[in-house]
Structure 1
Amino acid sequence: MPVEEHDGHSLAAPAPLARDFFDRPAHEIAPDLLGRVLVHGPVALRLTEVEAYGVPGEDPASHTYRGRTPRNAVMFGPPGHLYVYFTYGMHFCVNLTCLPEGTGSGILLRAGEVISGAGTAMARRRAGSARAVREVDLARGPARLAVALGFTLEHNGLDVCVPGSLFVTEGDPVVAASIRSGPRTGVSSGKETPWRFWIDGDPTVSPHRPHVPRRR
C-alpha cells in the first residue's frame, strides 16, 4: 500500500501486524483476520472470508494431518508466513501460518475485496482469457484471490510480519455480530468443523460448496 500524501506531508505506510498476532490457534485467529488488509506490491485486499486448519493428528482436513512433508514444510515454520500450494493441477491457494514453529497449522485465505490496485488485479485475472471479470469477483474464492494478488509457488514461505512489499496490516474492524461461521468448503474429512469464517452480507464472500468426490 503506497505512502499517502495529506496536506503536503507524507504519511507513514501502515505497519504490519505483529508476529504474536499469528502465534495463536488457527480458529481463534481466523475471525480476527476478517477486515484486515493483505498487501502485495500494488494490490491491497481486505479479507472477507477465511478458513482455519488445525494441527497434525487432530484435523484430518489439514495439510499437516499426517506430519511434515516437503510440500507443507512452511506450515511447520514460524507463524506469520505464506504457505502457497498448487492444487487440482491448475490453481494456487494461499495460507497464513500460525502457532509456534514446529506445530503445523494455518489459515486459508478464501476471499477478499480489492481496495487498491484493482487495475493490476483485473489484468492478472483476465490474462489469457477473453471472459469479463466483475470487480466484485476479483478475489471471490481462494484461487481467484491468489491470482489477483499475484501469488505463485515462488512466494511460498515469505514473511508477512515485516515492512516491505508484502505484509498484513490493520483494516476496518469487523464487529463480532457481523461475523458468521460454518462448515469448511470442499473438504472430504472434517467437513462439519465450523472453521470457515466470513463477513455476513459481504458480496465478495464465495459460495459454500460441499465436497464432491472426483470421478476417476
Structure 2
Amino acid sequence: MKSKAPKMRLSREFYARNTVEVAKDLLGKTLVRKIGKKTVSGIITETEAYRHSDDPASHAFRSRTERNKAMFGEVGHAYVYFTYGMYYCVNAVAKSKNFQAGAVLIRALEPKEGIDIMIQNRKTENVSNLTNGPAKLTIALGITKMHYGEDLVNSPQLYITEEDKVNGKISVGSRIGISQGTEKLWNFKIKI
C-alpha cells in the first residue's frame, strides 16, 4: 500500500500578497498542529482579512504595539492574540508591499486529524462544534500565546499546507464582532 505523500507547506510568497486575496486563498488549506508525535489538523473553512491604514477594525490600524507587532513583521508568521480575557485567536500574517501590516484570522476549521485530541481539549464530543469558531479551534488544537510569531513556513509544530482541490462556492460577508469597517466584506466561508 502506498503511503500518502506529505502535503506541501504554503510558501512565504503565498502570504506576500494582498491580505484579502490571501484570506480567500486560505480556504480549503489545512492548519496543522504537531503535539509531540501526534498531529491535529483541520481544513480551513472560514477566514477574515485585517489590514492596516485602510481598516479601522484591524489591530494594526492606529500604530504598532507590543501586542500587534507580528502583523508588521515578516509574512508567513502566526499572530496569536488574547481576547475577552480568556481566549486565543490565531492569524497568519499576510500583506502586500502596499501595506505595513496585515493578517488573516482563521475563524473555523473542518476537523481532519487528531479529532480525539480535539475532543479532549474542548471537553465536548460534539464534533460539529469542535472548531467552528476562532477560540474553539485554538483550544482544540492547543494553540496559545507560546505560538505568537511562530514561522508557519518552517515551524515543526504549527503550519498550513496545501490541500487536495476543494470545490465549493465561497460566501462573502461582513466581518464578525466588529463595530468599524463593517462595509468591508472581508469574511470568507466555504462548505467542505
Scaled by the length of structure 2, the TM-score of the pair is 0.91
Q: Deviations over 1:13-42 (max 9, x none)?
A: 322111100001111111111100010011
Q: Structure 1 regions of 5+ residues with no counterpart?
A: 1-5, 127-131, 203-216
What CA distance in whole angstroms lies between the structure 1 residues aligned with 2:96 and 2:24?
19
Correspondence for 1:112? 109
Q: Secondary structure at the match of 1:178?
A: coil
What CA distance in whole angstroms lies between the structure 2 residues aligned with 1:164 and 1:100?
26
> In the alignment, residue 156 of structure 2 is paired with which amino acid?
G
**1:66-215 matched pairs, under 5 angstroms:** 66-99=62-95, 103-126=100-123, 132-162=124-154, 164-175=156-167, 178-200=169-191
Distance change in 2, residues 1:163/1:154 (3 Å)? closer
Asked if 1:62 is matched to 2:58, the reply is yes
Q: Paired residue for 1:36, among 29, 42, 55?
A: 29
Q: Structure 2 regions of 5+ residues with no counterpart?
A: none
What is the deviation of 1:75? 0.8
Q: Deviations over 1:171-195 (max 9, x none)?
A: 13234x6111010001011112100
What is the deviation of 1:89? 0.5
Correspondence for 2:44? 47
Q: Paired residue for 1:20, among 4, 13, 29?
A: 13
What is the deviation of 1:103? 1.6
Kept in 2, the 8 Å contact 1:78–1:99? The answer is: no
Kept in 1, the 8 Å contact 2:32–2:40? The answer is: yes
What CA distance in whole angstroms lies between the structure 2 residues aligned with 1:125 and 1:38?
17
> In the alignment, residue 171 of structure 2 is paired with which amino acid?
R
What CA distance in whole angstroms lies between the structure 2 residues aligned with 1:178 and 1:88?
32
Higher RCO (CA 8 Å, separation ≥ 6 residues): 2
Q: Secondary structure at the match of 2:22?
A: helix
**More deviation, 14-23/158-167:** 158-167
Q: Secondary structure at the match of 2:56?
A: coil
What CA distance in whole angstroms lies between the structure 1 residues aligned with 2:33 and 2:100?
26
Query: How many residue pairs align between the two structures?
Result: 187
